[in-house]
């Protein structure tokens, strides 16, 4: 556990000193974490491995620019995936026991994500 702590600390330090323009997380990364959630939010399957993805993503997204880019990725994912039940999508963080301070919805204003 100590090693993991040290690695996380190093990652946090690297993230803290990285230029803002490179800090933003890529949508491909967001999608690969959240892929297991697609069946659930489109009413086609169970929660399955979804929470593992949500928690994994939550664990790597720390900075505000990262959160804003994740927010934008979620918006475009929600907008481009047909049949998403937004009440299920919005309930996902709660289902998985993580706190995401904005709603996953195509109408979310990602520039207001500040914490
Ligand atoms: C969306 O999910 C909610 C909560 O599970 C459910 O009550 C509602 O009927 C679903 N809506 C649609 C359109 O399937």
pLDDT for position 21:
47
Helix %, strand %, coil % for the chain, to 5?
Answer: 65, 0, 35
Kindly give the number of the ligand 1 atom that is closest to the alpha carbon of 85: 1
Check: pTM over 0.75? Answer yes or no.
Answer: no
**Which is more confident, 84 or 12?**
84
The contacts of residue 64 (CB under 8 Å, 6+ apart) are: 113, 114, 115
Residue nearest to atom 10 of ligand 1 (CA): 85
Q: CA angle, 99 as apex, 96 and 102 as ends, to 5°?
A: 115
Q: CA angle, 14 as apex, 8 and 19 as ends, to 5°?
A: 145
Least confident of 6-20, 47-61, 94-108: 6-20
Residue to probe by mutation, ligand 1, list 37, 82, 87, 105, most atoms within 8 Å of CB: 87
The torsion of the CA quartet 115, 15, 31, 74, rounded to 10 degrees, works out to 20
pLDDT greater than 60 at residue 48? yes
Query: Could you tell me the residue ranges of all domains in the chain?
Result: 23-112
pLDDT category at 55 given cuts 50, 70, 90 is: very high
CATH class in words for 23-112: mainly alpha
The whole-angstrom separation of Cα 74 and Cα 77 is 5
């Amino acid at each position: 556990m100590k090693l993991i702590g040290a690695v996380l600390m190093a990652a946090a330090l690297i993230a803290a000193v990285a230029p803002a323009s490179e800090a933003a997380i890529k949508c491909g990364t967001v999608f690969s974490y959240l892929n297991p959630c697609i069946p659930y939010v489109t009413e086609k399957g169970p929660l399955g491995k979804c929470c593992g993805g949500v928690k994994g993503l939550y664990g790597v997204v720390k900075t505000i620019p990262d959160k804003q880019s994740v927010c934008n990725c979620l918006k475009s994912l929600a907008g481009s995936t047909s049949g998403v039940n937004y009440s299920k999508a919005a309930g996902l963080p709660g289902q998985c026991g993580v706190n995401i301070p904005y709603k996953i919805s195509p109408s979310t204003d990602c520039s207001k994500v500040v914490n």
